[in-house]
Structure 1
Amino acid sequence: MRLFQCQNCGNVLYFENSYCEQCGKQIGYLPDKGQMTAVDPDGPNWIALADPHSRYRFCANWEQSACNWLTHADSGEIYCRACRHNRTIPDISTPEHYRDWRKIEAAKRRLFYSLIRLDLPLPTPASGEPEPLVFDFLADAPDGSTKIMTGHDSGVITISLNEADDAKREAARTSMGEPYRAILGHFRHEVGHFYWDRLVRDGGQLESFRALFGDEGADYAEALQRHYQQGAPGDWRLSYVSAYATMHPWEDWAETWAHYLHIVDTLEMAASFGIETHPAVATEALATQITFDPYETEDVNVLINAWLPLSYASNSLNRCMGLPDLYPFVIPPKAVQKLGYIHDLIHRHAQ
């Protein structure tokens, strides 16, 4: 993610802005151009100051204050590139559902920012593909008879509305002993399963995957039961980004995939702010200068060498405010290998 600028007055814009705080212009996002833009009304359409020769319309979810993305007026699409993947949304006539759905949509747009920047395949239900990328955002049954589980199955990603309720999410995090739990983290993890199917299973990469992550043919139900009964192995920190990654090779991939997106997107924002670290304590391990585009760099070590000092500094700043670490994880050398595998796979696909 990065900072943007209003074309009308030059004021800084953030990804979630729907209008400019300085000049009051309506703001939308052009996903094909990766640009936030001020817009002017033009009949039923809008003129984007970042692309004045085309005409745009806001996503249909803009009318629900749940999206700020634009789509070409002549495309025939009423939903934007992110929202056309929605299959099910909750009953938004319920105020709590409406509130939580908007939070989920905000996180989803940040996910799609990264997926588009990485030029990853984004098949929609209308594409005719057998396993398009589809989202169901579901609420538990009011009488408690049905509990929604967040997960992935054959291209369908289900997100429980409970993940948008701060109190419920924090309770789940604490009860499961997790160092981190966020809606965006769920999106990044679950979409990792989707891209395992696309890039590994369908991409002819099973042997290379197994050499690094292990045999995905291991019984998943047994692995899940064992993980929750016995926990992670005592030496898990030597090879994995998280305890949950030890559960099964699929989960190791999905956890590593999520961390890759965490790292790349946060580094881009740090670069946009011009953040550098030059610690008073003289050590190269704490110094970094982010002068590259994390989405474009070809060497994963460039990312890691910048990420580690940045995360050390960010964690230290959070502690000064009495907050949990921004990035409460350690990346061992074996996990760097796995991040590099994902990095190379993504970039080979883009090429």
Structure 2
Amino acid sequence: MVLRHATFRPHHLNGSPMKRFTCPTCAKEVHFRNQSCVNCGTRLGFDANALVMRAIGPDVVLCANAQAAGCNWMAVKSVPGSFCLACQHNRIVPDARTKGNLSRWRDVELAKRQLIYALIRWSLPRPTRAQDPGMGLAFDFLADAEGPNGVTPVMTGHDSGLITINIAESDDDVRVARRTAMDEPYRTLIGHMRHEIGHYYWAMLVDGSPQIERYRALFGDERTDYSVALQRHYDNGAPQNWRQTHISAYATAHPWEDFAETWAHWMHIADGVETATSYALSLDGCQVRLDGYKARDIAPVIEAWVPVTVALNNMNRAMGQPDLYPFVLNKSVMAKLQFINDLIHAATSPNK
């Protein structure tokens, strides 16, 4: 069995910006979401510029959302009431007075911080709404509205830099019901974030750029009527042979959705390989030693990723859980992933 050959080897924490962090006081391991060290009690703040944990002191100010939303990032400005690099993109946040909204908001914020972490690692442009009113990155975290005529649902989506997330997606029962209704193998908050940010970077890096023709050759012509294409997909489903050309059934709906789905998967892969590397995961005697965020050629990243997914899929099955990564990376998808990685590394960021 594959898992019999999977071993964890000791790993020296050298402060590299991987998904493994240490307490600045006692040097014990702390996690990305931790607000304090469970070993020594040191209050922590994530320094998004250095990608390390700092001890909270007179010179370290936490994000204004620390208490309400559980944000553990340091504020951009050392002034009380300031937001961090992630929360400065918030436009509308949930009404914390509504029962359940506080925990939903915290879940959504954690997924958003993980998203912003990746954008920082890639040095991708991420202007705020104040810096770019027309295309600045902003988030609305909204709940379905109940009125006299029934419930008005919030649609998760992207529009000119504004990403809207329905906070009900943080509820397991809601998310599972929607995943089942849409026959999806995978549905998570971080998946929503990564998908919608894919739409954002299509608008930022592809639309009207010299890359548009290469994009159309790989993904199709985005000028195809979106509403008609989406309705056709909902009515008829994906073509029977979609696994030979796309990463998911939904990716077949329209070239925009194909790009967003593929973008999300490249984020899954880069982050997954980084995590495997940071924990020195070894499979069949081969240790994963790659930085998926820095790689220009995706081939070695995929070569490292596939055995990890096979092992962890089997581990999940052993525990009675769904596969961790139930997707196939065909040749067409590989070409699309390479295109997206090329886009990322060609982009520059004025606010790294």
* TM-score, structure 1 normalization: 0.91
Distance in 2 (CA, whole Å) between partners of 1:288 and 1:208 is 35
Counting aligned pairs with the same residue, the percent is: 48
Please say which of residues 56-65 and 151-160 is displaced more in the overlay. 56-65
Matched, 1:271 2:288: no
Query: By how many angstroms is 1:7 displaced?
Result: 1.5
Q: Count residues with an aligned counterpart.
A: 330
Matched, 1:56 2:60: yes
SS of residue paired to 1:125: coil
Is 2:251–2:257's contact at 8 Å kept on the other side of the alignment? yes
Match for residue 211 of structure 1? Answer: 217
User: 5+ unaligned residues in a row in structure 1: which ranges?
Assistant: 43-54, 279-286
Of 65, 73, 78, the match for 1:69 = 73
Of 247, 253, 260, the match for 1:254 = 260
Query: By how many angstroms is 1:75 displaced?
Result: 7.1
Distance in 1 (CA, whole Å) between partners of 2:205 and 2:298 is 18
Match for residue 291 of structure 2? Answer: 293
Query: By how many angstroms is 1:72 displaced?
Result: 4.4
Distance in 2 (CA, whole Å) between partners of 1:208 and 1:181 is 29
Is 1:138–1:158's contact at 8 Å kept on the other side of the alignment? yes
Match for residue 233 of structure 2? Answer: 227
Distance in 2 (CA, whole Å) between partners of 1:190 and 1:62 is 25
Name the CA shift for 1:72/1:105 in 2 (closer, same or farther; >3 Å): closer
Query: By how many angstroms is 1:65 displaced?
Result: 4.3
Distance in 2 (CA, whole Å) between partners of 1:304 and 1:222 is 34
Matched, 1:108 2:136: no
Please say which of residues 119-128 and 180-189 is displaced more in the overlay. 119-128
Give per-residue Cα distances to partners, 1:266-321, cap 9 Å, x unaligned.
1111111100100xxxxxxxx74311211112211011111111100110110000
Distance in 1 (CA, whole Å) between partners of 2:163 and 2:95 is 18
Give per-residue Cα distances to partners, 1:88-121, cap 9 Å, x unaligned.
0111111311111111001100001001101000
Distance in 2 (CA, whole Å) between partners of 1:236 and 1:28 is 45
Higher relative contact order (CA 8 A, sep 6+): 2
Is 2:76–2:85's contact at 8 Å kept on the other side of the alignment? no
Matches within 5 A, 1:24-43: 24-40=41-57, 42=58
Distance in 1 (CA, whole Å) between partners of 2:301 and 2:80 is 39
Name the CA shift for 1:116/1:202 in 2 (closer, same or farther; >3 Å): farther
Is 1:288–1:305's contact at 8 Å kept on the other side of the alignment? no
Match for residue 84 of structure 1? Answer: 88
Match for residue 147 of structure 1? Answer: 153
Of 128, 132, 137, the match for 2:132 = 128
Matched, 1:344 2:342: yes
Distance in 1 (CA, whole Å) between partners of 2:73 and 2:340 is 28
Matched, 1:20 2:37: yes
* TM-score, structure 2 normalization: 0.91
Q: Could you tell me which amino acid in structure 2 is paired with residue 9 of structure 1?
A: C
Q: Could you tell me which amino acid in structure 1 is paired with residue 98 of structure 2?
A: T
SS of residue paired to 2:139: strand
Of 246, 249, 271, the match for 1:240 = 246
CA RMSD of superposed structures (Å): 1.5
Is 1:245–1:251's contact at 8 Å kept on the other side of the alignment? yes
Match for residue 308 of structure 2? Answer: 310
Query: By how many angstroms is 1:77 displaced?
Result: 7.4
